[in-house]
Structure 1
Amino acid sequence: MLIVHRAERTDVLADVLAGVLSAPTAPADPFAPEIVSVPARGVERWLQQHLARRLGTGSTSDGICANIDFPSPADLADRIVAAVHSGSSFTLTGTGRVDDPWRPGRLVWPVLRVLDASVDDDAFRVIARHVGAHTTGRDGRSGPGGAQALADAEYRQGRRYATARQIADLFTRYATARPAMLAAWAAGPTAGGTDLDGTGEPVAKGMIWQPGFFRAVRAEIGVPHPVEYLDQVCARLREDPQAGDLPARLSVFGPTRISESLRRVLAAAAEHHDVHLYLAHPSPVLWERGPSSLRTAGAPRLLTPPVPRGQWKRCVPRHPLLASLARDVGELQERLAGLADRDLHHATADGPRESLLHTLQAGLREDRPHPGSAADDGTVEVHSCHGPQRQVEVLRDRLLHLFSADPTLQPRDVLIMCPDVETFSPLIRGAFGQSGLGHPAFSLRVRMADRGVRQVNPVLEVIAHVVALAAGRVTASEVLDLASAEPVRVRFGFADSDLDTIREWLGRSGIRWGLGVRERQRFSMGAFAQGTFAAGLDRIALGAVADETDGQWLGAALPLDAVESTAIDLFGRFAEFVNRLDHVLSQMDSSATPARWATILADGVRALTAAVPGEDWTTTAALRTIGRVLDDAPAEHGALAATSCELRLADVRDLMSGLLVSRAGRSNFRTGELTVCSMVPMRSVPHRVIILLGIDADTFPRATRIDGDDVCGTRPLVGERHPRDEDRQAFLDAIWAATETLHVYFTGADPITGRAIPPAVVVSELVDTLDTLTGADGPAAGAGVVRRHTLHAFDSRNFTDAAVRGIAGPFSHDTSLLDGARALRSAHGEHAVAVPARCVFAEPTHEPVATGARDIDLADLIAFHNSPIEAFFRQRLQIWIPQEEQAHADELDITLGGLDEWGVGDRLLRRMLDGASLLDCQAAELRRGTLPPRMFGSRQLRTISDAVTDVHDAVVPLRRHATGDGGHRTADVLVPLADGRRIHGTIADVFGENIVTATFSKLRPKQRLAAWIGLLALAATPTVGSGSAAPSVTSAVVVGRRRSRTGGVALSRFGVPDDPVPILEELVAVRDLGLRKILPVTADLAAEFVESGRRSGGLVGLSAARRSFGHEYGESWNRFVRMAFGGDVSATVDFDDLLIDRIGDRDDIDWGAVGLEPDPDLGDDAGAVFCALARKLWIPLLNHEVDA
């Protein structure tokens, strides 16, 4: 007898199931197990707990649920078929197909053997082309065309296993969805020589290879596919009550889709066994309008043939949500038509109709909405947020409000379902369960139910990473990521500081990719070893015993500078890690049998990983998983058994990637913690609060993509899988699973641009329905149930009473963010808004120190006048605005970047000025590993060397002429000032009575200004007779490259003024002011303004400075300028922002004391502080500059 039990909610069905299980079967056997098939592990866990409170002997709440087997629907069908076909007893445990070669895990291997053996068969030419069989270069010749073809063949041949896996999955899918089609394929083509697709039509031309390939696999395995004897099994079930020794009662709980093979098996078993189907159907009214599931009394149980989806005449629901979301259960009802002996509806107790949620559910039950019948009471809420992170932040605060509003609500009463768990899981882990932190949500423990192997077993993730490394270039960043994995860190003792040191070594030693020559040879670069780990480790090892500045090297390795003796142990551990990794990767170069690959991967586990203390099971589980997967490749079946089924590296990579997908375990559900899972495992399990997180248009429902090789996908039948309809059904099930509260979260605005993003279709349909129920119309539609949240959690609205609808007090619980909101409000008035940082710094700060209390470092004085804006942050505020962190470069550049080119030139120039020959300097650079490979590096090194030689040849005569008998000195500077402070520092490059400085940089205002201030300081330092050892000085010369595309040398010479002390006093006064408020000037802009103005007038100079500011490399890109005048390092700043400050604007600043005066020639900008400062800094410099 086949009995259909229907209810809107699964808790009602679970109570019915408990009642059925309480009744003994005839004949009664106390040891006979009950069979309850469930669609997901989460449902199994919940059902066990629910039944444990209903079943018992002395009472109905013994808390024990035992002797019940919970197979999946597919497993149930397989076990019944196997038991009846073999004549054995239906087993309680196991799948019944452990040794079945048609089992999905084993089917891939005979498919792979057939794939290898049939590449010469014209019938399978499409497969041979797909896997790159027999592909050569054009006309078999080498050359660009042939090389490209061979590279394409290599890529295609790397998808052998993936192709075999896809074909095996297709055959498995056909066996459950269209068993008759697969059985007909096994029997051979029809009399007309064609194979049919299960709908009565010939197989499409692009898939015509599949029937023949299936027959080839059937011949290779040598064992009939279960679909071939499915009809005989069903016949025996109908005729023989003892067939398969099945239990007297079978239950299938909560399916929304029943495969064709299961439908046939259950229909046949129902002739002599009680088969109970427990269906969660949203509307009894809609069910009654659809096809009847009852068969005619006394008539045989007939299986109606499946109907193509395009021809199905669906009973269209009246409720718009049912019309959109309930297609899956509608198709299920169609497949059950005429099969049931009894059809029982079990009513769900009505909740209070004044609740919006229960009104929504009542409308679904009755298949009609109830317009204007409910108020927005918070039982259904839709939250629009700015991106995933903000969704989690809003969810966290909203949950806390729910818990505080209802003390009886516990974390176990809340279920969070998310279609994109991989994206949201790290955000959720960061927002909850962080012991020791201040936010109240950190005390909530969260259970991530859909955890993949990469989260559960990091050892297996490491081996998958190693396999991926072997298939690639083995880049420095990839190896560093591997070294950062916890099992590797434990094995080699890498601490956080160790990894930082290793990261620094990788960058400074020039390691890019490849452990050694072996990886380079795969890319025809075996002759270039620079940039490999082998070359880099040699540099680090030499750096421990030698210094780079000594100009010595060993072989092709130049010592790495600054390798501390305390890091030698770390180097040894890192070198051991690299050597072991190299050994493991070397074994993966060639094809091997699955057994050999199992050994290689197991060796990798032992060589590279160690379990975290207390988690030794991870290593054991990883080894067991590797052995199980690769031992699933027996060769004892079929004609090709003697043929070795070898796997390439790419095949193993695809195999390992399949192990890392998320899988839900039954132990991860219903643990008493806040549970987070995908939409499937707990889709219909009732909870007091249901949270749907991340219901975004780009992820839910899934886009419908037809597999071009799937026969079922080209002409689908009613009842077959359709991902988009499955997602819609899951959304409907979630609505019914909520007993008190339903919340939906989605991204409604772009977190960067603020652009509105339309919600997912299912969310829009839900909002439209809720608007109908609440009577909202026009502009108010959606405004009630949709809560639109702020971009930032620290927005003051989150701390304002009733700012979020339904929350009487402040929405946020974060006290640290409250402090920030208060600070913004107090600084900027009632409504906190983003303001440029210059508004904060416009007010002069207090004096940094009392006059005379702190001497001035000459280097600080020079740095300030090069960029007063940057100096305010660094010298006054003692903060540093970091540049955007650049990831380690893994590519071998064919040309050096600007900074890298400068670094090479600077090193060459410094060593040549110290007396080294150009050849020795070039040899050292070639061994450094930073130059591009081969001719690219040689050509660029030659160009840099020419420029270095020009500067060197220009500066050496100047130094030689200036030295005379005085020699080369480093002079101390100590200049007493009128207020009691002193300028102190040292100046290198003093030759006789001249300062002669050389730089590989292009000669810019910064170098000129540094030479000028250094000359002033040294000239103002008292002579030996006054107690100072400073020599007299007459000039300063700075030599660099010319700022032009033609190259050449630029030289700037400065003479000593008659009295340098007053000029220094003014420079110090400007610095004192610049440490109280930001001064809007930089050396480059000031020089451009003054020099152009002296030639053509002040207005022309101002235009020149404006152009310089907006140049591709101008100060408008300076992060300190942007922070000071735009409020953010990414803000856009105009040159006019620097002209806002005017002399005389403030009475508390004595502009005259620093010598700043307006320039009437500048018109409206005559009083700009920028212009006065530029003149103050640069006119004295230009007056004493010669030979510029």
Structure 2
Amino acid sequence: ERYATLKRFLERNPHPIKPYQLALQLADLFDQYQVHRSDWLLDWAEGKDILKKREEGTASLDIPPDQRWQPDFWRALIEDLGEHWEMNSRSRLHTKFISRLHEIADQGEPIPPGLSRRIIIFGISSLPRQVLETLAALSRVCQVLYFVHNPCRYYWADIIEGKELLSESSRRFAKKEGFPSVLEDQDLHRFGNPLLASWGKQGRDYVKLLDEWDDLATSQKIFKNDINLFSEDLPDASSLLQQVQNGILELLPLPSEAEKTTPIGKDDDSITFHIAHSPQREIEILHDQLLRIFDQKEDSPSSIQPRDVIVMLPDIDRYAPHIEAVFGQQPDPSIENPPPAIPYSIADRKTRGHDPICKAMEALLDLPASRFAASEILDLLEVEALQRRFGLKVPDVSLLQRWIRDAGIRWGIDVEHRSEGEFHAPIDPTLSLNQNTWDFGFKRLFLGYAMGHGDAFEGITPYPEIGGMEGPILGALRDLLNSLQSLRDRLKAEAIPEAWVALFKELIDAFFQPQGSEEERSVALLRETLDQWYRQVAEAGLTTSLPLAIVKEAWISKLDEPRLTQRFLGGSVNFCTLMPMRSIPFKVVCLLGMNAADFPRLQPQ
């Protein structure tokens, strides 16, 4: 059976979310095929179960036996789309678009309406082959100017192992004088720059890809001047950073001990390394170093401001709490002339991980599997929008925390809840199953409110610390638990998408009363992503009942999708994820979390 691989995945540890996870992976896989190997998909659509190679004149490869389900799956998808296949397949649209552009150019037709006479692309570090094919076809009917960053003025693909050398005629960049025609592995250190050799694979591959589409003779004919714009008037490499930069630009190997090198000054801090034992210590060192830089440059013409600094990390969410703890601390009033606070902003954070309302929403959707631990309910009570909805104030939360602790509430709604599924009875057989549940605790709290100090009533000892004016606070806690229990019961059953959307909108209104721009923005984001998910479901014609696990993940995961509203370049020290081209406008670039296990980031397969 060709689908045995997928079947094994679904049958091993079955869970309602696994079909959805598999669908996500398959969608991403075939989307990548459409971008990078559309020729494979076109062959598969015609019934050719082969893997075509890029190089002309080379034989195609057979698909491995355990992957032969992929062509079948693609054809089944085409059959399911029916007449919509032609307009929804990127690979098919790409082929038609390219053919139409060549037809316009060959027949001398006018430029189609809406197509600009000139297209300019810049600030992009890499593009897939399919996009370059499109730009090459567009260049036949309009002018296309593509500005490419290249760290080295010479042809440098030779210095990386595993390359396929291009022919001399297709290279835009000349070989450096003195380079051998073929560079052996043992000579890499003698002729190649080690940073390009180890970190330049993506740039090497991209420059090589551009060379395949670059008509060097035509460009030299049109552009009389040299369009390889490398600076000829380089400053003296006085700092270590300038020496590194010039070494990459000029394709210089590491100097030998016998060669004369430029000495590094004792006060040269252009490149510095710090070793720290924890993320917290990394941030503390960074904070101290930035204060030193701002203080040193304060009166100089080349002063460094917070907006000139970028801090990039492989995992921004892991470091965000430490950043807020160090950079967000208030100056100590007991210290004379305390260091100034450094303004900062954190970009690229996952909304579901730090936004209080979104975190609370995710916790509410997890109620069917919740033990109703006291700590979980107290975490919900920390959300101010939820406090307002149930008539509570910030000081009331600490009071409720004391009541819950002293009343002995630990986990579980009642005996029935504790008896469900994976929840087990107490280890001590002398204890009642109702001991330390919310039902047990509320009986103590309300009995104490009604009678104050007194003897136990039907085996329940009253909790006497609740006064008459505090009754509404206790009632609000009871209302919250009733609402949570009712919501838990409603979330257990499967429902059609329309019913889920109605329930979630009701949930937002029932548990949150936003106040202020931040909270209103969070609630608006919840509603916006929910409507977006429902539109996609409606377009797909999905009307079957779905379990909560799938609906929750499909909705909440949309909160983390990139949006234009995320702050960046806001005039302060910018903390962000490591991404290409991000460091260009900054004078100071700092890297944190560059541990061997964390960078380069590994994509799970």
Using structure 1 for the length normalisation, give the TM-score. 0.42
Q: 1:578 matched to which residue of 2?
A: 481
Q: Paired residues, what number?
A: 538
- Determine if contact 2:123/2:581 at 8 Å carries over to the other structure: no
Q: 1:363 matched to which residue of 2?
A: 247
Q: Secondary structure at the match of 1:550?
A: coil
How many angstroms apart in 2 are the aligned matches of 1:286 and 1:695? 29
How many angstroms apart in 1 are the aligned matches of 2:52 and 2:545? 33
Q: 1:352 matched to which residue of 2?
A: 236
Q: List aligned pairs for 1:980-1129, cutoff 5 A.
A: none
Q: Secondary structure at the match of 1:651?
A: helix
Q: Secondary structure at the match of 2:403?
A: helix
Alignment partner of 1:162 out of 12, 18, 21: 21
1:326 aligns with 2:181: no
Give how far 1:664 is off. 6.3
Alignment partner of 2:292 out of 397, 401, 409: 401
Give how far 1:552 is off. 1.0
Q: 2:146 matched to which residue of 1?
A: 277
Residues 445, 181 of structure 1: CA spacing in aligned structure 2 closer, same or farther, 3 A cutoff? same
What per-residue deviation string (whole Å, max 9, x for no partner) do you get for residues 62-105 of structure 1?
Answer: xxxxxxxxxxxxxxxxxxxxxxxxxxxxxxxxxxxxxxxxxxxx
How many angstroms apart in 2 are the aligned matches of 1:360 and 1:401? 24
Give how far 1:269 is off. 1.4
1:674 aligns with 2:553: no
Larger radius of gyration: 1
Alignment partner of 1:631 out of 518, 530, 535: 535
- Determine if contact 2:526/2:559 at 8 Å carries over to the other structure: no
Residues 524, 435 of structure 1: CA spacing in aligned structure 2 closer, same or farther, 3 A cutoff? closer
Q: List aligned pairs for 1:631-710, cutoff 5 A.
A: 631-634=535-538, 641=541, 644-661=543-560, 663=562, 665=564, 668-680=567-579, 682-703=581-602, 705=604, 707=605
Q: 2:314 matched to which residue of 1?
A: 419
- Determine if contact 2:35/2:130 at 8 Å carries over to the other structure: yes
Q: 2:409 matched to which residue of 1?
A: 511
Q: 2:61 matched to which residue of 1?
A: 201
Give how far 1:522 is off. 3.8
Q: 1:551 matched to which residue of 2?
A: 456
How many angstroms apart in 1 are the aligned matches of 2:554 and 2:152? 44
* Structure 1 unaligned regions, length at least 5: 1-121, 136-151, 298-314, 708-1188
Q: Which amino acid aligns with 2:72?
A: G
Give how far 1:288 is off. 8.5
* C-alpha RMSD over aligned residues: 3.2
When you count strand as a share of all residues, which structure comes out higher?
Answer: 1
Give how far 1:628 is off. 1.1
Residues 221, 585 of structure 1: CA spacing in aligned structure 2 closer, same or farther, 3 A cutoff? farther
Q: Which amino acid aligns with 2:79?
A: A
Question: Percent identity among equivalent residues?
Answer: 26
Give how far 1:187 is off. 2.9
Give how far 1:214 is off. 2.5
Q: Which amino acid aligns with 2:449?
A: A
Residues 184, 245 of structure 1: CA spacing in aligned structure 2 closer, same or farther, 3 A cutoff? farther
How many angstroms apart in 2 are the aligned matches of 1:402 and 1:359? 21
Give how far 1:255 is off. 2.9
Q: 1:236 matched to which residue of 2?
A: 100
Q: 2:362 matched to which residue of 1?
A: 464
Give how far 1:632 is off. 1.3
How many angstroms apart in 2 are the aligned matches of 1:280 and 1:292? 22
Residues 533, 163 of structure 1: CA spacing in aligned structure 2 closer, same or farther, 3 A cutoff? farther
- Determine if contact 1:543/1:562 at 8 Å carries over to the other structure: yes
* Structure 2 unaligned regions, length at least 5: 55-59, 106-110, 159-164, 173-187, 221-226, 256-260, 426-431
How many angstroms apart in 2 are the aligned matches of 1:525 and 1:387? 38
1:590 aligns with 2:493: yes
Give how far 1:330 is off. 0.5
Q: 1:311 matched to which residue of 2?
A: none
How many angstroms apart in 2 are the aligned matches of 1:694 and 1:173? 29
Give how far 1:396 is off. 1.0
Q: 1:1177 matched to which residue of 2?
A: none
How many angstroms apart in 1 are the aligned matches of 2:93 and 2:200? 34
1:375 aligns with 2:264: yes
Give how far 1:227 is off. 0.8
What per-residue deviation string (whole Å, max 9, x for no partner) do you get for residues 646-672 of structure 1?
Answer: 321221232245234374646522221
Residues 195, 440 of structure 1: CA spacing in aligned structure 2 closer, same or farther, 3 A cutoff? farther
Residues 158, 338 of structure 1: CA spacing in aligned structure 2 closer, same or farther, 3 A cutoff? closer
How many angstroms apart in 1 are the aligned matches of 2:286 and 2:387? 35
Q: Which amino acid aligns with 2:121?
A: V
How many angstroms apart in 1 are the aligned matches of 2:417 and 2:481? 14
Give how far 1:326 is off. 0.3
- Determine if contact 2:39/2:52 at 8 Å carries over to the other structure: no
After the TM superposition, list the runs of 4 or more consecutive aligned residues in structure 1 that deviate by more than 6 angstroms.
524-527
- Determine if contact 1:454/1:461 at 8 Å carries over to the other structure: yes
Q: List aligned pairs for 1:741-820, cutoff 5 A.
A: none
What per-residue deviation string (whole Å, max 9, x for no partner) do you get for residues 170-214 of structure 1?
Answer: 1212211211112222333x2xxx353767323333332222222
What per-residue deviation string (whole Å, max 9, x for no partner) do you get for residues 1044-1079 of structure 1?
Answer: xxxxxxxxxxxxxxxxxxxxxxxxxxxxxxxxxxxx
- Determine if contact 1:598/1:626 at 8 Å carries over to the other structure: yes
Give how far 1:608 is off. 1.0
How many angstroms apart in 1 are the aligned matches of 2:61 and 2:25? 23
Give how far 1:704 is off. 6.2
Residues 212, 205 of structure 1: CA spacing in aligned structure 2 closer, same or farther, 3 A cutoff? same
- Determine if contact 1:196/1:203 at 8 Å carries over to the other structure: yes
How many angstroms apart in 2 are the aligned matches of 1:333 and 1:214? 32
Q: Secondary structure at the match of 2:590?
A: strand
How many angstroms apart in 1 are the aligned matches of 2:166 and 2:479? 71
Q: 2:79 matched to which residue of 1?
A: 219
Q: Which amino acid aligns with 2:207?
A: Q
Residues 259, 401 of structure 1: CA spacing in aligned structure 2 closer, same or farther, 3 A cutoff? same
Q: Secondary structure at the match of 1:240?
A: helix
Give how far 1:277 is off. 2.1
Give how far 1:278 is off. 1.9
- Determine if contact 2:367/2:484 at 8 Å carries over to the other structure: no
Q: Secondary structure at the match of 1:380?
A: coil
Q: Which amino acid aligns with 1:196?
A: L
How many angstroms apart in 2 are the aligned matches of 1:619 and 1:366? 54
What per-residue deviation string (whole Å, max 9, x for no partner) do you get for residues 3-23 of structure 1?
Answer: xxxxxxxxxxxxxxxxxxxxx
How many angstroms apart in 2 are the aligned matches of 1:162 and 1:229? 28
Q: Which amino acid aligns with 1:490?
A: R
How many angstroms apart in 2 are the aligned matches of 1:595 and 1:203? 42
Q: 2:258 matched to which residue of 1?
A: none
Q: Secondary structure at the match of 2:25?
A: helix
Q: Which amino acid aligns with 2:133?
A: R
- Determine if contact 2:347/2:574 at 8 Å carries over to the other structure: yes
How many angstroms apart in 1 are the aligned matches of 2:347 and 2:566? 8
Residues 603, 567 of structure 1: CA spacing in aligned structure 2 closer, same or farther, 3 A cutoff? same
- Determine if contact 2:346/2:574 at 8 Å carries over to the other structure: yes
Residues 537, 131 of structure 1: CA spacing in aligned structure 2 closer, same or farther, 3 A cutoff? farther
How many angstroms apart in 1 are the aligned matches of 2:423 and 2:290? 58
Q: Which amino acid aligns with 1:695?
A: M
Alignment partner of 1:385 out of 233, 252, 276: 276
1:187 aligns with 2:187: no
Residues 381, 275 of structure 1: CA spacing in aligned structure 2 closer, same or farther, 3 A cutoff? same
Q: 1:988 matched to which residue of 2?
A: none
How many angstroms apart in 1 are the aligned matches of 2:569 and 2:443? 55
Residues 684, 390 of structure 1: CA spacing in aligned structure 2 closer, same or farther, 3 A cutoff? closer
Q: Which amino acid aligns with 1:536?
A: G
Q: Which amino acid aligns with 2:244?
A: L
- Determine if contact 2:372/2:413 at 8 Å carries over to the other structure: yes
What per-residue deviation string (whole Å, max 9, x for no partner) do you get for residues 879-905 of structure 1?
Answer: xxxxxxxxxxxxxxxxxxxxxxxxxxx
Give how far 1:354 is off. 0.9
Q: Secondary structure at the match of 1:631?
A: helix
